[in-house]
Amino acid sequence: MQALILAGGLGTRLRAVVSDKPKPMATIVGKPFLEYQIELLQRGGVDDVTFCVGYLYEQIQNYFGSGEKWGVKINYSIEEELLGTAGALKLAQRFIHGPFFVLNGDTHLDIDLPKLARFYQENKENHNAIGAMALAEIQDARNYGSVTINADSAILSFNEKSESAETSKLINAGIYVLAPEILNFIAAAKKVSLEKETFPTAINQGHPLFGYRTEGYFVDIGTPAGYQGFQQHISGKDA
C-alpha cells in the first residue's frame, strides 16, 4: 500500500514556539516531526509516500528529497492555495493507485498499520466500507471533535468540539485507510474537509466508514502543549 501525508497547513496554533518552518517540520529531539511519520510508515511496510504540501513546502522537499535516505519513494503534491484535508487528496489523485493510508502532518499515533489495513479490508469485503479511521480514546475529548460508532464499529457521526463532558471519548486519531472511490465525493480545485464534508456525504450515500479503536500513544503536536508532550514522549523512549 501507499500513503499520503497531509502537510500543507499554516500551523497558526504552533507559531508561538515554531515560527520559521512549516508545522510538520517542527523539531522533535533532533529531527522533524515528519520523519517520525515516515518511520511509522516504514514499520508498517509502506514505501510509497506522497506529501501533500503547501506552506513553506520547499523546506520539506529540501529535507526529504526523493526519500532514498529513508528507503521510501516520496512524491510531492503542491497546493497553490489551501484546499483542506479532502481537497489536498483530490489534488494528489494522480499519485493514487489503490487503497491508501492517510496520515495527518500534525498528529502522531503509535499503531500497527497492517492491522488497520486488515480491519479495513474485512469491512470492505463484508460491508462495502469506503474506509477505516483510527480512533483514540481520551478522558476529556472536549478540545477535539469526537466520533460516535455503533456496535459494529461503523461511524455514525462526527461531532464538533463540545463543552459537554458527556461527549464521546473517541476521537479521530488522524490516520485512515481509504478506498480510491472516496475521491468521487470530493470536488476538484475547491477547499473541502474530509471530516466535515466528504466522510458524512459518503456515509449518507450508503458507503460506510468504520472506526478502528486503538490504545496507542496519541498526540496532536499542533499546540505548544502537544508539541512539548511529544518531545517528552520521545525523550523518554530514547532514555
Q: Active-site residue numbers?
A: 161
CB 220 within 8 A of CB 13: no
Q: Residue 233 is placed in which grid cell? A: 514522549
**Beta strands, E only, 23-63:** 27-28, 31-32, 48-53
Q: What is d(CA 146, CA 144) in angstroms, rounded to the nearest whole number?
A: 6
Q: Under 8 Å CB-to-CB from 58, ≥6 apart: which residues?
A: none
Helices 33-43 and 113-127 meet at what angle, rounded to 10? 60
Q: What is the distance between the alpha carbons of residues 132 and 64, in angstroms, rounded to a whole number?
A: 28
182: amino acid identity, one letter: I
Please state, as a whole number, how many other Cβ atoms lie within 10 Å of the Cβ of residue 192: 21
Distance between CA 171 and CA 109 in Å, rounded? 12
